[in-house]
Structure 1
């Protein structure tokens, strides 16, 4: 029996697209035998065209779309798998064994790909605050960024002799194209992580908001646009500005599926609730009276109503009752009509607070700083957290992110921020959980951008933005827990730190043809020498799609270490020459997945014995053994 080799690259974007297509058009797939002799499913375009009918654009048809130089490269960058992995950094983490939060250091495009298998469709809400492209904040050096010469050639700005026909190209089209490519590739991958009822919020300013809207229309669908919120971020003008002093930013909001997204609304104020009362002690709770007449009049709904006191009333001139006579009689029978405490008033409908379609108030698209804070206040609050030292310019207020989260998440939602910056999102998730008892989890991703030489942050020993973000979460979590007192005992203020790194395997693992004969026996074990068992475990969790926040424990059986993830979601052993006792213990756990290292087996007979053990203990057939047991 030959066990399946563990895949050590992320899935391609096309794999997820094909799976989505398979769910809605299974008949468009057919089985084809590949070069390796195994059957695989492929798209039958003839059948697909028949299913779609006239809803297919021909290649020569004109169509509406947003184009820029580098867009195709950005698509390819999103679709390409990565060989990188995530390595645990236990020493930087807080409550490693119990926390369900993740802080990941690395290029967010790579991280998003690495998260796809485990978190496909599981993220309820994404908030990001990407670079605004103001001229000095572009730190993502993607391969699809073109040189000025390449840009000119792509745009046709080169004559027959090869001379460039345009000057100052860096300051015009490339300036926007590189930003569009950067955000486009990341949104393409991020969309796959969103739940079907999930929502994304993106902070932006006037520099790129028009381009962002067009990109989001393409990635998420124009029909899934929810709002372009105007956030009043400044409370006073900057008089040094030549023309206008900008006082607002935008938050662009899209749903993955607008028909499934549910807005919770903004928490109701005490003033709003004060309008509800229960003068007749109705068992359904507090209510308020609502006008029963509407206009213009519907003739069939113009009829007299007799009040309990005997007075006959009709709707005002030009109006009618909002209910038919039969519907009114039914509501009257249900005690949903109110005639006043003396039974002599014009009839009104009882609207119960408990029956409102949503618990909160529908948000408007202008958010004032008095409601959600302003950037100057956020800067000051963050500085106070760091003993008066200012390490970030204009971070977002915690209350602003709390509002975004509370609008479209539930108490157990997973929140993702892949431009984490000062880690305001992590702070907001912890604060909101402390306030409403929720169990929301977060994944924050930040590239380890260097802090400027000579800056206050560098002088304080913070060499990267990540170091500041992690320290902010530690300090915020401690403060939130202290303020919560006994109510905060179960509050998760910890986080596991993971870091993007090259694969755990030597390059020869991927390119065996490059192995020279004299090195044949030195490369029996393809695992890099500096990688620990915990590195290998997390690499396998990434590759196999096991959630990275699952609880971990280790058992020692017959001198062998068994790494147990979530009591059997995955069990791994990386020791040499695994014993029968250890294999029997793994099988007793009835795991969903098992991973071994090639060194675990001294002979091929050992592999066969393991195969039989799992068939015996777990009741697996040959196909299940092949799917569930992988080898590094």
Structure 2
């Protein structure tokens, strides 16, 4: 019998090593049979692809090039910390909640959380045609800019812009595509994404996930029994949803499955090794060529593997199992051979049971609704997922301190599930939730607030937006968990979160930025103030410096629990991060501060590799003095000017 390495070596081609390296870096360009999809790779290299507009709705959907471009764009927003929450109840929390457009949030998170998220669950809009989805992008580019970007004609520009406010398949795909591309980037190499969907977009979602994550990284699809009651308004009652499962890298997938059940293991022959069960001896033919007869010593009958199958062990392996009493020919010694598998062996190995693709007995949307009613005393959110479902999915991929993300947070069921699991198994999973501040009301022509369709209960309960429901759900759920687990709750239980709002700068600030001349010797406008929560017209008590620093830390790849130290230069406060970077944001820096900084750097009282400054707070003279001083240092310190 050949060793595994010998078998593998027999299949090696001249380009195998190159293809293996390519597959490791770009698994999405390989098909299920392991071959490289050259056409798909060639299409990604194209700068422009107008076939999507001439061919209509296929995988080359209207808006695909635009969606691809969005996946590569930098954020156009800033991150405003909620200082009241973050310095109050969330002070020591490592959980994060972002209010804002999830595409912008993902762009901000990409640098700091690249390949760090272990589990992603999302429940995006299903695009049922019942006003649950409209494409939100307003195409801020002019027609001429769009023409230049994508090489389009006037008629094609109009077709592209037709998806604005649309609920077409192309509009939905254009919306989902860039979000999934960035989601893949932040997933860890062993990570998993779960995506809940129904029939309306299932096939389209499967297609773009195959393209983005790679067909080979498709794990499977769970069919979740989301309701048990029968509906009589259609020929077949729709009682299920789908949950697509993709790995970042199927070869490194971290997957635990269901816990072992001792009920399956018995000990009818009083084997001293304890309870056991019978498992098949045969295996997939692709694994080798171990085909031979196994004789039942009690009956003399010879057995071979089933058609197109092999034995899972070679002759020596089968003999060892026979000698050890680990092979039985059925419970009555009258059927094909099977292996005795002992429960204690599987427990010692940390084995798990392979789950079924059918998810039953994990709660329904009715159970999710009942959880909302218990927490809020009202049905303030429609069709929430039950925590029992989310707990099951998270346990498949997470055991300890991994990060779980949901960027369509809704009622924050995922956060609730993470906290419940941590209370049960004393793990330290962390969550990142993202929710758009979708209003629960609109204003009529008289300017009066009127509850939106389906949101009256939430509005009457005092919630003006969905993200408010999400955050309050986390608070109330954490309180309930503490009450239910008073004696057993782990000391390090994290039942809170830090909160950030991701918003666009106001028009006045943008105009000031546009008019700013870095060569002016005087500064006429304090640009920092334009980024305070008050100027941005959001709650949170954040100063402009807080917003700019938070946004920059994310841009520079720091996580949101990074330690930031205040450094004083006279009456000027700077911020140092990990002995690596020094941030100068506010106005007020002058010659005295430059001399003090250079002195501390030259005498090694301060160790940094770069100084990052907010260019709008420095006139040209201050900049030149600082720049020239840093150049004269023996140790190289880079000056980074940002505008």
Once the 2 structures are TM-superposed, how far is the Cα of residue 595 of structure 1 from its aligned partner? 3.6
Match of 1:450 among 414, 439, 442: 439
Q: SS of the residue aligned with 2:219?
A: strand
Distance 1:506 1:563 in 2: 24
Once the 2 structures are TM-superposed, how far is the Cα of residue 475 of structure 1 from its aligned partner? 0.7
What does the per-residue CA deviation read over 1:44-95, in whole Å, with 9 as the maximum and x for residues that have no partner?
xxxxxxx9999975999x9996122222222222222222121101224564
Matched, 1:548 2:537: no
Matched, 1:181 2:169: no
Match of 1:405 among 380, 394, 414: 394
Once the 2 structures are TM-superposed, how far is the Cα of residue 548 of structure 1 from its aligned partner? 1.6
- Number of the residue aligned with 1:538: 550
Distance 1:75 1:55 in 2: 14
- Conservation of the 8 A alpha-carbon contact between 2:293 and 2:304: no
Change (3 A) 1:527 1:385: same
Once the 2 structures are TM-superposed, how far is the Cα of residue 254 of structure 1 from its aligned partner? 1.3
- Conservation of the 8 A alpha-carbon contact between 1:74 and 1:182: yes
Match of 2:78 among 82, 85, 94: 85
Distance 1:143 1:68 in 2: 18
Once the 2 structures are TM-superposed, how far is the Cα of residue 417 of structure 1 from its aligned partner? 0.8
Matched, 1:112 2:110: no
What does the per-residue CA deviation read over 1:548-605, in whole Å, with 9 as the maximum and x for residues that have no partner?
233455465754435455x546554545343766777786564576544555895744
What does the per-residue CA deviation read over 1:453-512, in whole Å, with 9 as the maximum and x for residues that have no partner?
34121122210000010000011112212323343321111111111123599547864x
What does the per-residue CA deviation read over 1:331-388, in whole Å, with 9 as the maximum and x for residues that have no partner?
588x675899xxx9999855344654763211111111xx2101011101111101x2
Once the 2 structures are TM-superposed, how far is the Cα of residue 220 of structure 1 from its aligned partner? 1.4
Change (3 A) 1:261 1:325: closer
Q: SS of the residue aligned with 1:477?
A: helix
Distance 2:438 2:68 in 1: 25
Once the 2 structures are TM-superposed, how far is the Cα of residue 238 of structure 1 from its aligned partner? 3.0
Distance 1:207 1:54 in 2: 28
Distance 2:313 2:247 in 1: 35
Matched, 1:362 2:349: no
Match of 1:138 among 130, 133, 140: 133
Q: SS of the residue aligned with 2:70?
A: helix
Distance 1:543 1:258 in 2: 29
Mapping of 1:276-291 within 5 angstroms? 288=276, 290=278
Once the 2 structures are TM-superposed, how far is the Cα of residue 318 of structure 1 from its aligned partner? 3.2
Change (3 A) 1:395 1:569: farther
Once the 2 structures are TM-superposed, how far is the Cα of residue 521 of structure 1 from its aligned partner? 3.0
Mapping of 1:408-487 within 5 angstroms? 408-452=397-441, 453-454=450-451, 455-485=456-486, 486-487=488-489
- Number of the residue aligned with 1:4: none
Q: SS of the residue aligned with 2:485?
A: helix
Distance 1:101 1:287 in 2: 42
- Number of the residue aligned with 2:501: 499
Q: SS of the residue aligned with 2:244?
A: strand
Q: SS of the residue aligned with 2:368?
A: helix
- Number of the residue aligned with 2:303: 318
Once the 2 structures are TM-superposed, how far is the Cα of residue 133 of structure 1 from its aligned partner? 0.9
Change (3 A) 1:444 1:314: same
Query: How many correspondences in the alignment?
Result: 542
Change (3 A) 1:199 1:292: closer
Matched, 1:237 2:230: yes
Once the 2 structures are TM-superposed, how far is the Cα of residue 187 of structure 1 from its aligned partner? 1.2
Unmatched segments (≥5 aa) in structure 1: 1-20, 26-50, 305-311, 616-620
Distance 2:458 2:61 in 1: 37
Distance 2:611 2:345 in 1: 49
- Conservation of the 8 A alpha-carbon contact between 1:293 and 1:315: no
- Number of the residue aligned with 1:527: 528
- Number of the residue aligned with 1:101: 95
Change (3 A) 1:278 1:477: farther
- Number of the residue aligned with 2:61: 68
**Worse overlay, 91-100 or 517-526:** 517-526
TM-score by length of 1: 0.72
- Number of the residue aligned with 1:489: 491
Q: SS of the residue aligned with 2:303?
A: coil
Distance 1:183 1:400 in 2: 23
Distance 2:548 2:418 in 1: 30
- Number of the residue aligned with 2:238: 246
- Number of the residue aligned with 1:269: 261
Q: SS of the residue aligned with 1:400?
A: helix
Change (3 A) 1:517 1:226: closer
Change (3 A) 1:489 1:278: farther
Match of 1:126 among 93, 97, 120: 120
Change (3 A) 1:630 1:119: farther
Once the 2 structures are TM-superposed, how far is the Cα of residue 289 of structure 1 from its aligned partner? 5.6
Distance 2:132 2:257 in 1: 34
Change (3 A) 1:237 1:527: same
**Worse overlay, 63-72 or 373-382:** 63-72
- Number of the residue aligned with 2:220: 227
**Worse overlay, 469-478 or 226-235:** 226-235
- Conservation of the 8 A alpha-carbon contact between 2:365 and 2:386: yes
Q: SS of the residue aligned with 2:242?
A: strand
What does the per-residue CA deviation read over 1:196-231, in whole Å, with 9 as the maximum and x for residues that have no partner?
222111111111112111121211122221112111
Distance 1:456 1:292 in 2: 55
**More relative contact order in 1 or in 2 (CA 8 Å, sep 6+)?**
1
Once the 2 structures are TM-superposed, how far is the Cα of residue 99 of structure 1 from its aligned partner? 1.1
- Conservation of the 8 A alpha-carbon contact between 2:102 and 2:407: yes
Once the 2 structures are TM-superposed, how far is the Cα of residue 245 of structure 1 from its aligned partner? 2.8
Distance 2:579 2:465 in 1: 37
Change (3 A) 1:583 1:332: farther
- Conservation of the 8 A alpha-carbon contact between 2:79 and 2:550: yes
